[in-house]
Amino acid sequence: MNDYSHGPIYNGLIYLTYLITLLPLILLLVVRNNTTAPKNLRRALLLLCVISIFSDLIGVIAGPIFKNNNPIYHVYDILSGAVILHIYKLNFTNEKTKKIIILLLFVYVTFSIFLFFYKDGYKFDNTKSLISLKIIVILLSIYYFLTLFYELKIRSLKSYYFFWINAAFLFYSSTTFYVFLFEDFMMLVTNEIYLWPIHLIATIIFNLLLSKGIWTMKKLS
């Protein structure tokens, strides 16, 4: 029986994921007084990091007690999704696009809250809510890249902080979209979770790309 939840590789990935989640937060604190990025963006990224770290801590503490972390994940996904969409609203300059993002944010949060309460949905996986968020973020990240390439306002994309931040969101959303899409099917045919290590690896790479973007905020001396 190949049970990843009891294997050393799987457990190592979990611990590495927890540790690497701290990296963006640390870098935000390091560059806070020497950065080219707007304060409201830095605050939004800081909030995203704090939400992620606290959800992990609460999950670790509450998991053995309640045996069901799904309510925590529901709340985390609603909060983090709202913050991510807010980050995109801050970085798009077109007012029409900003209004569309606000509408998407309202629809996503409303839909997620409905699923949370409908038939005790908080007790179960929030796959529908997650997949909807992944689709929204994938579309926004691709549109942002297209906008960058079309407007040609940034001379060096590799030196632009939000290029890396957007790449982080696109990579993570695209990868985990397929994980959550096929996870339910996998659980129907077996009790073993084969796709979850992919989610952990995607989380690690996401935090590395996000950290690269945050470090790129630093002013050149």
Q: List, for residues 145-177, the tens digit of each pLDDT value.
A: 999 888 877 778 888 999 999 999 999 999 988
194 is a domain residue: yes
- Number of domains within the chain: 1
Burial class (CB in 10 A: 0-12, 13-18, 19+), 162: buried
Answer whether residue 7 is part of any domain.
no
pLDDT beyond 90 at 15 = no
Task: Report how far Cα 98 is from the mean position of its chain's Cα atoms.
Answer: 20
Residue type, 201: I
Residue 14 lies in a domain: no
The per-residue pLDDT for 167 is 97
Q: Report whether pLDDT(53) > 60.
A: yes
What's the whole-model pTM score? 0.88
What are 103-140's pLDDT values in tens digits?
A: 999 999 999 999 888 765 667 777 788 899 999 999 99
Q: Which pair of tokens denotes residue 64?
A: 């053995």
Q: How far apart are CA 211 and CA 23, in angstroms?
A: 7
Q: Which domain holds residue 72?
A: 39-216
Residue 1 lies in a domain: no
